[in-house]
């Protein structure tokens, strides 16, 4: 029997889209649209499932992956840096940012955005994104 004073609580989110984090990415100058995925770190989940009761930092529990559609000519490096350093959203996580330029200037043109997201899904389908801090 375990004591309530020695047990730890663990919360893992995802793998899935975070609406709030996606919105935070979209607020950056030069970003037309963005989706951010929260991904649990498999090794951390496994340790908890095995009853190891590990001490885990925020960075050790989850990674973040942001897919960003930028306006043509926007500074990709600046966008990536702003996302990775954003306090309360990304700074405490290993974050991968994939930025592609859009040839379209109207973020509300649904057919253009759908075509752009289909492209992102296509180019990222073979990427193995796990616990990484580097950009793609």
The pLDDT > 70 percentage for the chain reads 71
- The CA–CA distances, whole Å, from 93 to 9, 10, 22, 50, 114 equal 19, 16, 15, 24, 29
Query: Closest by alpha carbon to 78, among 103, 99, 92?
Result: 99
For 65-101, what is each residue's pLDDT tens digit? Answer: 999 989 888 999 999 999 999 999 999 999 999 998 7
**In which band, very low, low, confident or very high, does the pLDDT at 48 lie, cut at 50, 70 and 90?**
very high
Please say if the pLDDT value at position 41 is more than 90: yes
- How many CB atoms are located within 10 Å of the residue 42 CB? 10
Please say if the pLDDT value at position 115 is more than 60: no
For residue 62, the surrounding DSSP H or E stretch is strand 62-71
Q: Hey, what's the torsion of the CAs at 14, 20, 25, 28, to 10 degrees?
A: -170
Q: Measured in Å, how far apart are the chain's first and last C-alpha atoms?
A: 47
């Amino acid at each position: 029997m375990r004591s309530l004073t020695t047990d730890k609580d663990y919360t893992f989110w995802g793998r899935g889209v975070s609406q709030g984090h996606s919105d935070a990415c979209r607020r950056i100058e030069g970003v037309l649209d963005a989706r951010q995925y929260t991904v649990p770190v498999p090794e951390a989940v496994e340790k908890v499932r095995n009853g190891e009761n590990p001490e885990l930092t925020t960075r050790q529990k989850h990674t973040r992956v942001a897919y960003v559609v930028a306006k043509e000519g926007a500074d990709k490096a600046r966008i990536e840096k702003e996302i990775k350093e954003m306090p309360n959203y990304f700074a405490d996580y290993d974050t991968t940012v994939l930025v592609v330029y859009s040839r379209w200037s109207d973020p509300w043109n649904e057919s253009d955005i759908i075509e752009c997201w289909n492209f992102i899904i296509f180019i990222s389908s073979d990427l193995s994104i796990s616990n990484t801090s580097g950009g793609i």
